[in-house]
Structure 1
Amino acid sequence: MDKAALRAQFLRRREVLRPDELQRLSFRLAERVLRYLEQHPQQVLHVFLPRVGKNEVNTWLLIEQLRVQRPEVQLVVPRVVPGTFELEHYRLTPEVPLLTSRWGIPEPDPLRAERVLPAGLDLVLVPLLAFDEEGYRLGYGGGFYDRFLPLCRPEVPKIGLSLFAPVACIPDRHAYDRRLDACFAPEADWYWT
């Protein structure tokens, strides 16, 4: 199976999730991240926002809980730089307006939000379709996170959030594919560093 076939398989697995099931899985992932943060306090947390209508992990559940339980944590979210494969990162506060990108992703208005450089991040939560037992992820294929993650400080944990358990191996890995430090799924956590 190649990456395209694996990507299609996991997109189908997501499509069939009922809304209540997606909420339950997303809530379990939020609990896992909160437990991690109890043991590894971080001040600046990068989190992705879910694409509208794509059954992605609902990170809004985590964001809401962090705002109540850990208000000292500064939340940062990405924005695709138009016409490129690059990400910019902005502080997410309740006052920051969100615009919907052409991919259906809520993104901060760059004119109304404070930009944060990758070197200023303490933890990155990474979106993915699937991951493997060696810590490699399968995304949508644009390479946005593969370009972004090396810009972070080497010691910054890069943790994937997955709705499903790992596959044995992501096929067709390339030199630019970045290994995660950990991945959280609703039923278990995996660590590679």
Structure 2
Amino acid sequence: MEKSILRAEYLKKRMDLTQDEIVAKNNAITENLKLLLAGQEIKTIHIFLPQHGKVEIDTWQIISLLQNSYPPIAIATPRIIPGTKEMEHFLLKPETNLIENRWKIPEADPETSVKIEPQIIDAVLIPLLAFDKKGFRAGYGGGYYDRFLVQCKPDVVKIGLSFFEAEDKIDGLDRFDVAMNYCVTPFGIVQF
């Protein structure tokens, strides 16, 4: 199925989830991610922050898990550079001041936060709407993560997070699409 069709379909599937389903799926994703992280050597992990007012994976729950269970792991979050399709990255600390961007996504204040380079990141949690059995994904269509992932070191662990299971195949991929190593769902961990 084409990316544009998948985007529309999966946005609707998300909107159709009940609050109880959202909570249960977030809890299961967090538990499954904990299992995956237990076997990884990670010093710095990159995590997207959920958009206010949308049905997205509750990465705040994951951040809480990391801070409580893996305190040595540094957490980084993205900031979209205004007027571009590029992101910069900042450490997320208890004192980090967050400011909502125009899409209502919280971002670290670049004036008061610690900026890091993509090459020091060991793992990236990737937002997506749908993914396929080869590890490719349909995101929101901006290409931000595909551009970011090629700036990371070659062995960065790319982990998608999804409320739903894999599609057989996503059509319309191009040479810029970057495959994931894993996708964590409420149903388990898919490795590619």
Task: Provide the TM-score with structure 1 as the length reference.
Answer: 0.97
Shift >4 Å, 4+ stretches = none
Q: Describe the SS at the equivalent of 1:151.
A: coil
- In the alignment, residue 2 of structure 1 is paired with which amino acid? E
User: Structure 1 regions of 5+ residues with no counterpart?
Assistant: none
- Name the SS for the 1:48 alignment partner: coil
- How far apart are the structure 2 equivalents of 1:51 and 1:111? 22
Q: Partner residue of 2:26?
A: 26
Q: What is the letter of the counterpart of residue 157 of structure 2?
A: P
Are 2:36 and 2:189, in contact at CA under 8 Å, matched by a contact in 1? no
Specify the code of the residue in structure 1 equivalent to 2:74: Q
Equivalent residues, number: 192
The residue number in structure 1 matching 2:7 is: 7
- Relative to the length of structure 2, the TM-score reads 0.97
How many Å separate the matches in 2 of 1:33 and 1:72? 17
1:103 deviates by 0.9
AA aligned to 2:146 is D
CA contact (8 A) 1:42 1:123 kept: yes
Correspondence for 1:100: 100
Secondary structure, aligned partner of 1:60: helix
1:171 aligns with 2:171: yes
SS class of match (1:7):
helix
State the one-letter code of the partner of 1:146.
Answer: D
The answer for unaligned runs of 5 or more in structure 2 is none
User: Is the Cα–Cα contact under 8 Å of residues 77 and 107 in structure 1 kept in the other structure?
Assistant: yes
Q: Aligned equivalents of 2:66 and 2:175: distance in 1?
A: 35
Residue 2 (structure 1) shift: 2.4
> Aligned equivalents of 1:13 and 1:53: distance in 2?
16
1:29 aligned counterpart, secondary structure? helix
Paired residues of 2:132 and 2:168 also in contact (CA < 8 A): yes
Shift of 1:115: 0.5
Q: Which residue matches 1:52?
A: 52
* 8 Å contact from structure 1 (residues 46, 124) kept in 2: yes
CA contact (8 A) 1:27 1:62 kept: no
Q: Aligned equivalents of 1:3 and 1:155: distance in 2?
A: 26
Residue-by-residue CA offset, 1:169-190 (whole Å, 9 max, x unaligned): 1111111111111111110211
